[in-house]
Amino acid sequence: MAKGVGSTWHLSGAPILVVSAVPQELSGAPRGGPGSRLRYLRAGMGPRAGEAVRRQLAREKFSLVVCTGFAGGTRPGFRVGDLVVATEVVE
């Protein structure tokens, strides 16, 4: 599990999962070579996306899960490539 300490993140050696809804959202993502810790999941949209992520999390342990591609729809003024970092999780 990733643990934030101030602005520094300490990650375990487990892979990092990058999740997107559609292929275009991953088109600019870095591709690692052999031994890369990055794993990519095109989960789709809606309830099926949540289920796809749950299945992936059940198969493999990750140090961090990064969701891509949805922030442009959350606030006017966001641009492609902007980074949005959550400060809290609301359930």
* Ordered per-residue pLDDT tens for the chain, 91 residues: 445 445 555 677 889 999 988 888 887 777 777 778 889 999 988 888 889 999 999 999 999 888 887 655 667 777 766 777 778 877 7
Question: In the sheet where 38-42 sits, what is the strand order?
Answer: 38-42, 16-20, 64-67
pLDDT of residue 51: 93
Query: What's the gap between Cα 63 and its chain centre?
Result: 11
Residue type, 4: G
| Token reading at 31 | 């591709």
End-to-end CA distance of the chain: 19
CA atoms within 13 A on the CB side of 23: 0
* Residue in this structure with the two tokens 């643990």, named with its chain if needed: 3
